[in-house]
Structure 1
């Protein structure tokens, strides 16, 4: 796969990273979205570099699994507890459960220490460590690893959503398209783009914001079917330019054959992408 093909795969599937970051943060709100997004983006690039289409596995499914694996590795690295501490907490929990069944009550700290063959202070330290675990790391990782399979319908919808977003970006006016791709797909800053384009920071920011509004108009008109030519536009550019964009996007995507089935699911994806603006 050449560089152009790799970059195309990354651009087409970047919204998947935002979706998966939102999914994990719903279960563990203390996690850093920017850090996870960076980890996911790196994993996506690595997927594009190693992807082999001849194996018959859709890229979206392959990337989803690899990105979730990267998240799991990051969570392990960021865990405050050492492997030894986690092991001691597990041993303590198992012994407490065993003694509770045998005694018919909650065992005391001294009883736990005697059963484990350790000092009372060691048991107290493990109990304090366990109390600090607001969100058990193993639960988050288990959820990530277990939720890797997709139904055929989910796979079709996911591929369609990602393809539509890619076409929506590709249909943007050339300057807006370049700014969106560089900021959201290549992780460049507005300042860097302003210097490259010989423009001001505010001008590039305005172009980015207008691109997000155009994308929203395109999604509502051609995918969600919640807007038509009479609807109030989000974009602030001239009406003729906006309609040219919508017409181009419509010819590229044909509206999406399963948009009614995918409306609820795509709504979340679209909001994640548009929230970046």
Structure 2
């Protein structure tokens, strides 16, 4: 294809990129985030991307998609109302409230919840006031409460991207390399366990894993995400 100068592609020609990018994160959009808001963010990112990129049509569209999706993830992160510490406190308060109400057969007081959750009375009062304003929290099921270690919507989207990209990358490896890396990185199997499963030595498994990693490092498209997993070593 012939190269294109910046802005050679019209905005209207690329709006489908925004729709596609939003669709890839739609199942992770929290209830307090409007899809229309994400569409607006995506369109602004698309305009900026078109002004900065030149190349073939495919190259420009690929670049725009990455920029738009990145902007959506940044927006999800920005709109996340709770930090990890705040999530922890909210869950502790809700669990204490549910447990105390069941045990006392009445509504627990703010002071009782504070003792049970080990959260300051003032913070408990603020949390309950805020949650009572949100209809989705009026009736809650203890078993349905989110884990305080749960990732934010943005983190979940990024983790999904990582897994999808790595699964695709593994398909380009030899069978034994793909099997070892899949068990090691996706299923947290140790080298000893993999060696026993394959009927070979632990050192041989290590060699297979390292050979597979070397091939993946040569693939520029997955280098950055692969490095995030190679940053730790398990026996």
TM-score normalized by the length of structure 2: 0.40
Higher RCO structure (Cα 8 Å, ≥6 apart):
1
Q: TM-score, normalised by structure 1?
A: 0.36
